[in-house]
Amino acid sequence: MNTESADAFKARVAKHAALADPARLRIVDLLTLGDLSPTELQAELGMPSNLLSHHLRTLESAGLTTRHRSEADRRRSYVRLAAGATEGLVPGVEHGVGRILFVCTRNSARSQLAAALWGQVSDIPSVSAGTHPAERIAEGALNVARRHGLDLADRRPRGLNEVGGDWGFVVTVCDNAHEELTNPGDVHWSVPDPLRLNTDEAFENAFTDISHRINDLAPRLHAA
């Protein structure tokens, strides 16, 4: 029985062909956790930049990855998995952690939303903090949380010095925070700053992006 269109079948074949190479499979496995710059991928894989560029072009052509510019340093780009890239593919690594820490610059939107969403899907404790915390949570973040049944009203922005010395498993959700930290963390999610546009749509997009990433990451972690 033919249950798949010819185009869908060709797209699936292209993905499997791209992943037949060990280096490209490793890149995708790394990207199931978070976004990485080509420089970070090169350091992780220990390969020349021209070879990495070839692998990244192949993955992009197969519809597995996309790339966009950093909001902090426009000379830098981040590679991320395309939407639906790993459907039917099972990542091979599981991490044991005691706590998860979500970090952005002002701890007024993205990291707060991430910590709240995490609490809905995992028993692993979560906290959030900012490298330069704001005075209050952004109104747009409060509104989008309220629309989705989350309550951020009793939370406040905190600095990294307020969350304790053992940070645990760190997820940066902001390009500025990731590029500012000396030790940038275990995982980076290059989520566009909704405050740049400060519209309901921008906050909805950030919420959706973070929610999808939370649901992808949660099965990969277990309490240590």
Beta-sheet pairing, 95-97 with 77-81: unpaired
Please determine, for residue 182, whether its predicted confidence score (pLDDT) is greater than 80.
no
Alpha-carbon distance 90 to 99, whole Å? 24
pLDDT tens digit string along 27-74? 999 998 899 999 999 999 999 999 999 999 999 999 999 999 999 999
Report which residue type is found at 123.
D
Say whether both 127 and 178 belong to one domain. yes
Domain holding 134, by residue range, is: 95-223
pLDDT tens digit string along 75-110? 999 999 998 887 766 555 567 899 999 999 999 999
* 159 DSSP 8-state letter: B
**Residue 88 maps to a domain:** no
Write down the pLDDT at residue 2.
Answer: 42
Write down the pLDDT at residue 3.
Answer: 43
Question: What percentage of the chain exceeds 90 in pLDDT?
Answer: 75
For residue 49, give the CATH number of its domain. Answer: 1.10.10.10
User: In angstroms, how far is the first alpha carbon of the chain from the final one?
Assistant: 46
Write down the pLDDT at residue 115.
Answer: 97
**Residue 86 maps to a domain:** no
Write down the pLDDT at residue 88.
Answer: 60
Question: What percentage of the chain exceeds 70 in pLDDT?
Answer: 94
Structural domain total, the chain: 2
Burial of 133 (0-12, 13-18, 19+ CB in 10 A): buried
Alpha-carbon distance 52 to 43, whole Å? 10
Say whether both 190 and 219 belong to one domain. yes
Lowest mean pLDDT among 47-61, 65-79, 133-147, 210-224: 210-224
**Residue 87 maps to a domain:** no
**Residue 89 maps to a domain:** no
Say whether both 18 and 115 belong to one domain. no
Alpha-carbon distance 64 to 86, whole Å? 8
